[in-house]
Amino acid sequence: MGVPTKSELEEALAERIGWELAGRFSSASVALCGLGGLGSNIAIALARAGVGRLHLIDFDRVDISNMNRQQYAVRQLGMEKTQAMRENILAIAPYCEVVTDQVRVTEENLERLLKEDDIICEAFDVAENKAMLVNGVLERFPEKYLVAASGMAGFSSANSIQTRRITSRFFLCGDGVSDVEDGMGLVSSRVLVCAGHQAHAVLRILAGENDKSSS
């Protein structure tokens, strides 16, 4: 069987979620800042949900230490993460517009990098970088939505990972406390739960669902 046409895929999606939601998702642009355990899993979930434009940002290459939780194949070891993730997204959603920036996000470049995106996902791993991006986005882009994560290391219950709405446009996922620096490793299933919270927060924003509740 060959690659389905764009309209075949759109119809299959609309059969599941309706044309209105499918339209909202396909006209959205979402930035993934970081393509590790969080960002790679968020990207796949959003591609499957039919988000029309994904902006992938990471400076790193796929490493053997990533294989325990990140959505890459061993044949992609050594590749730039932005290119490897572009391949993986297009294998699922061939008509998704994938934009890549193989660069480290800094206070200096974040405004230029993120100006085109509607919703920004913070998916870094270092606490200081998370804080830098969150403060930078909230200070410089008051009109955009931000979905960040803090606390998903270790083997604690997956149920302790939650989504909280901090301001009208800032959502925070995670348990808030499980720090990888405390010696707890990152486990695929719990990182996936947190990434799932982030992806779901993005889709709820696009669907207008969060206007009805606190998270």
Partner 1 sequence: MVRINGKNIEASGKLLKDYLLEAGYDITRLAVEKNGDIVPKAQYDKTILEDGDALEIVRFVGGG
Q: What is the CA radius of gyration of the chain?
A: 16
By C-beta, is 14 or 138 nearer to partner 1?
Answer: 138
Could you tell me the smallest distance in angstroms from the CB atom of residue 128 to partner 1?
A: 5
Binding site for partner 1 (CB under 8 A): 34, 36-39, 123-128, 130-131, 134-135, 138-139, 148-153, 166-168, 170, 172, 176-181, 184, 186, 191
Could you tell me the smallest distance in angstroms from the CB atom of residue 195 to partner 1?
A: 9
Query: Which of 88, 11, 100 has its CA nearest to residue 53?
Result: 100
Q: What strands, in cross-sheet order, belong to the sheet with 170-174?
A: 97-101, 53-57, 29-33, 119-122, 145-149, 170-174, 162-167
Could you tell me the smallest distance in angstroms from the CB atom of residue 6 to partner 1?
A: 33
For 31-86, the DSSP string reads EEE--SHHHHHHHHHHHHHT-SEEEEE---B--GGGTTTSS--GGGTTSBHHHHHH
Could you tell me the smallest distance in angstroms from the CB atom of residue 167 to partner 1?
A: 5
Could you tell me the smallest distance in angstroms from the CB atom of residue 172 to partner 1?
A: 6
Q: Which residues contact 180 (CB under 8 A, 6 or more apart)?
A: 125, 153, 186
By C-beta, is 103 or 177 nearer to partner 1?
Answer: 177
- Cα separation, 112 vs 17, in Å, equals 34
- Cα separation, 45 vs 196, in Å, equals 8
By C-beta, is 50 or 196 nearer to partner 1?
Answer: 196
By C-beta, is 23 or 160 nearer to partner 1?
Answer: 160
103 neighbors 128 (Cβ within 8 angstroms): no
By C-beta, is 10 or 144 nearer to partner 1?
Answer: 144
By C-beta, is 7 or 157 nearer to partner 1?
Answer: 157
Could you tell me the smallest distance in angstroms from the CB atom of residue 38 to partner 1?
A: 5
